[in-house]
A and B are shown apart, each in its own frame.
Chain A
Amino acid sequence: MSSRGPLVAVEKPRTEDELARVLCEAAEVRKVVVPVGGRRASGMGGLVERCDVELHTSGLDRVIEHSPADMVVSVEAGITLEAVQAELARSGQFLPIDPFNSPGHTIGGLLAVGWSGPLRLRFGSARDFLIGIRVALPDGRVASAGGRVVKNVSGYDLMKLHYGAMGTLGVIVAASFKVFPKPLHDVTVESRGGWPEVDRALDLALPPVALEMFSDGRVLARFFGSPDAVKATAAGLGWDEADGSIWDKHAESAPARWARIAAPPERLRGILESLPSKSTWWASPGAGIAHWSFENTKDLVAARSAAEAAGGSLVLLAAPDDVKTQVGAWGTAPETLEVMRRLKDAFDPDNVLNPGRFLF
């Protein structure tokens, strides 16, 4: 958690212009600005060095445009994921984003932290269907990139730059997405068979859109597609049918102290097996991502070494301050840190946005 002293100004602008002005005025006098969305991922990252202005996006919560026929939606950053899904559902559409610690994520927050959930296996992360972005910059400018069409190579892909940048390059004020039709058929099945069943399911000719393995050996698989295809596939697997609402419940998962382990998919199992016995974790083995409810710093350090040795990472999603200080939120900095710093300097030369929370 960031230290929030008594002198913190809490700003809740209602418009993009207001937000840009707050940011610019703070930046001019070198006040530190911490953008705040739904606070669902506020435990992620390092401790912010200082906070002078809490800049909430909650006042920017409109659907700007949803064109069902074009399968594109544009929203303001402070809208919650659930509100976007409700809008899309009216036309039988959805965004395949199902982050943990739901509900309550804002779109801007989700893009800033880059969280994903089980559906990543089939759809990728929001990075893969974020088609436009609008960002307020510390110098008062508001800059857009991309557009509202599903395929676009006009100009630099700054969507990718801001995605997962932890709000350190600017404050996302709006975003456009390619949306997806709800599946013709949606089936969830369950097994207690552990890794062998995971391997079987991932190897199917019609692979699951989500496949989650739990530390107790439970496995959940979800299939989308045409009815006969989905039914035949699920039947072939021979697992028990499960209620689809299990995914909403799963999305609520958020232990008090947890970390995300990412690794090349084929290396993930080895890392999970090296965790202390009786550890609680769940994983998307096909995507190479696991979430672990860790107990102490010693375990953390060991797991991070294992993840990094496999070419992966271990990142803290929520941890007491002293743990963050001791082990660091991010682990070994990437080799390209110097290149990233150049970009940081180009957008936020005075380091007023979230200093200390990310790599700079």
Chain B
Amino acid sequence: MALDMSIVDELRRIVGRDHVVANADDLRIFERDASIEGAMPDAVVLPSTTQQVAAVMKVAAKHAVPIVPRGAGTGLSGGAVTIRGGIALQMTRMRRILEIDAVAQTALVEPGVVNQELSIAAAAHRLFYAPDPSSQKACTIGGNAAENSGGPHCLYYGVTTNHVLGMEIVLADGGVHWVSGDTPDRVGLDLCGMLVGSEGTLCAITKIKVRLLRIPPSIATLMAAFPTIEAASQAVSAVIGRGIVPAALEMMDQVTVGAVEAHYRAGYPTDAGAVLLVEVDGIPESTRELMSAIRDVLGANHGYAMREAQTQAERELLWAGRKGAIGALGRIKPNYYLHDGVVPRSRLPQVLSAVGEIGEHYKLPVANVFHAGDGNLHPNILFDLRDKEVLHQVEGAGEEMLRAVIEMGGALSGEHGIGLEKSAFMPWIFSADDLQAMQRVKSALDPGGMLNPGKIFPDPQRAKVRLAGRTGFAVEAKWW
């Protein structure tokens, strides 16, 4: 469904002629995010001010056109995909860091600011922004807030919602509001907390006030190898059982280690069944003591080949392997598909063995690289999209893995969001009454249902999630 030209003209009057994309070829760039499914928007609008966002929202409401806020498009659950067409509200022109208050340790940013840019700017004040998704070089703070993104260091520091102090939002009716701010315990309902992670289905975000933390004076990063995933999982539980919550505790399996090592030469032992990266930070006395205790625990749990980064460059190399792991997997197969289900940490060995069996059953290589401390899995199913038959297999394997997660008392997503990809699975974990309660919030704030329709809630218009047939364009274009 193309937008009526009069609507396109209305949008152009708001943001300027150059900032509305309505040409079919140009629109293709905005067809997808980093998930597998895509759908074409009818127009892309690039506002530069809150007022423009509000005006665009009003146009969408007036003409009942779906509208989907979008950041860098790095999302992994299809949150930014315009599945019902309509307007993609591309926020990346709003990319100013408006203020860094070094005394209050806060930053006020526009939604299009890239996560890592904020930490770089904050570093001048010896501060940093804690949530660090692996896509932090590209993903935006607005997208992070919409998805309640995580990252390796969220084990200790908490996820995005723990760091967003307040937001300026635009509701579906075009109303502009500030929710929360830099004062604790504000009077009234915690709208800000509820809107973080609402995946663009309740509001557009136009400004974000975040908490910054002081860069710890000392950081210690340790790599340890384990004979098996089970042993590494046991070691993770043992560290935390010892009363130590490291800043980060990440695991990579043998498949991942092989690919990463070939690419980054980070020094991970390729014979290991699993590699753990453990990081602690704080004052030097503290990192020294904690690291020593951690080494003892890991050693007692079959850890070997332990190596602590001696320089900042070594630390960065150890992390480059982890953060670049998914890219490195391209050496094995050109495409990957991953879920990010979460299990209670004690169920890690069980769920990982189930994941392995499912991969074998479907004859698909699986590479695990994940936030072990949180129990947050990332099983990457590796495949080659040029093999058109494989998608059914990938889809089946992914669904079964999520099933295994849920059967072990887990949740559908730890940080990527439900989006389009997992909406059909929501009834696995939520009853009709649970979903109806969430739907009340949706109806109260977006009665017309125009904000990012087709997301989070099971969509009666789509009986089942289907990967196949939705990726034709990528195959044709030979993107890979």
Known contacts A158-B194, A340-B188, A149 near B343 by CB under 8 Å: yes
Interface residues of A in 69-91 (CB under 8 A from B): 69-72
Instruction: Say yes or no: A180 contacts B245, CB within 8 Å.
Output: yes
Interface status of B433 (Cβ within 8 A of chain A): yes
With A156-B194, A180-B245, A265-B104 as contacts: A229 and B283 at CB distance below 8 Å: yes
Task: Let me know if A144 and B188 touch, CB within 8 A.
Answer: no
Is A288 close to B, CB under 8 A?
yes
Known A-B contacts A142-B433, A143-B436, A145-B434; the reply to A330 vs B444 at CB < 8 A is no
Contact between chains at A289 and B188 (CB < 8 Å): no
Indicate whether A13 reaches chain B with its CB closer than 8 angstroms.
no
Contact A69 B188 (CB under 8 A): no
Within 8 A of A (CB), among B228-264: 237, 240-245
Is A151 a contact of B371 with CB atoms below 8 Å?
A: yes
In the complex, the answer to whether B217 meets A346 with C-beta atoms within 8 Å is no
Task: Assess the A127–B445 pair: CB atoms within 8 A.
Answer: no
Say whether, besides A114-B185, A163-B190, A181-B245, A154 and B411 are in contact (CB < 8 Å).
Answer: yes
Pick the contact of B177: A157, A165, A336 (CB < 8 A). A336
Chain B, 397-444, CB within 8 A of any chain A CB: 409-418, 422, 426, 429-431, 433-438, 440-444
Interface residue ranges of A100-157 to B (CB < 8 Å): 114, 116, 120, 124-125, 127-128, 135, 137, 141-145, 147-157
Please determine whether B178 and A335 come into contact, CB atoms closer than 8 angstroms. yes
For window 282-306 of A, CB contacts with B under 8 Å fall at: 287-289
Binary per-residue interface labels of chain B (170-185) against chain A in the complex, 1 for a CB within 8 Å, 0 otherwise? 0100010111011111
Bound complex: CA of A149 vs CA of B263, how far in Å? 33
B286 touches A229 (CB 8 A): yes
Which of B11-19, B82-90, B147-155, B307-315 forms part of the interface with chain A? B147-155
Choose the segment among B2-10, B55-63, B157-165, B469-477 that binds chain A (4+ C-beta atoms closer than 8 Å): B157-165
Which B residues touch A124, using CB under 8 A? 158, 162
Interface residues of A in 206-255 (CB under 8 A from B): 206, 225-229, 232-233
Q: With the chains together, A287 CA to B184 CA distance in Å?
A: 7
Contacts of A135 in B (CB 8 A): 437
Bound complex: CA A231 to CA B359 (Å): 50
Structural contact, A149 and B344, CB atoms closer than 8 A: yes
Q: Is the interface of A mostly helix, strand, loop or mixed?
A: loop
- Cβ of B282: which chain A residues have Cβ within 8 Å of it? 205-206, 225, 229
Q: Could you mark each residue 325-360 of chain A with 1 if its beta carbon is under 8 Å from any beta carbon of chain B, else 0?
A: 000001111111101101101110000000000010
Interface size class of B (residues with CB under 8 A): 35 or more
Q: Judging by beta carbons under 8 Å apart, are B190 and A229 in contact?
A: no
B193 interface residue per 8 A CB criterion: yes
Q: How far is the CB of B284 from chain A (nearest CB, A)?
A: 8
| Minimum CB–CB distance for B34 against chain A, Å | 16
- A-B CB contacts (within 8 Å), total count: 246
Q: In this complex, what residue of A is CB-closest to B182?
A: A264
Interface core residue of B161, B162, B175, B183 (most chain A CB under 10 Å): B183
Whether A32 is near chain B, meaning CB under 8 Å from some CB there, is no
A92 interface residue, CB < 8 Å from B?
Answer: yes
Question: In the complex, are the beta carbons of B289 and A343 less than 8 A apart?
Answer: no
Residue pair A205, B103 in contact (C-beta under 8 Å): no
When the two chains form their complex, are residues B430 and A262 in contact, meaning their CB atoms are under 8 A apart? no
- Please determine whether A225 and B184 come into contact, CB atoms closer than 8 angstroms: no
How far does the alpha carbon of A228 sit from the alpha carbon of B292 in the complex, in Å?
12
Knowing that A149-B414, A157-B193, A160-B196 are A-B contacts, what are 11 other residue pairs whose CB atoms are under 8 Å apart, sorted by A's residue number? A69-B237, A128-B158, A141-B436, A149-B342, A149-B374, A151-B415, A205-B217, A262-B185, A312-B183, A333-B188, A340-B191
Which of B's residues lie within 8 Å of A, judged by CB? 103-104, 147-148, 150, 154, 158-159, 161-162, 171, 175, 177-179, 181-194, 196-198, 202, 216-217, 237, 240-245, 282-283, 285-286, 288-290, 293, 342-347, 371, 374-376, 409-418, 422, 426, 429-431, 433-438, 440-445, 456
Could you write out 19 A-B pairs with CB less than 8 Å apart?
A: A68-B241, A71-B240, A142-B433, A143-B436, A144-B431, A149-B414, A151-B374, A159-B193, A160-B161, A181-B241, A181-B245, A227-B289, A262-B185, A313-B185, A333-B187, A333-B188, A337-B188, A339-B191, A343-B445
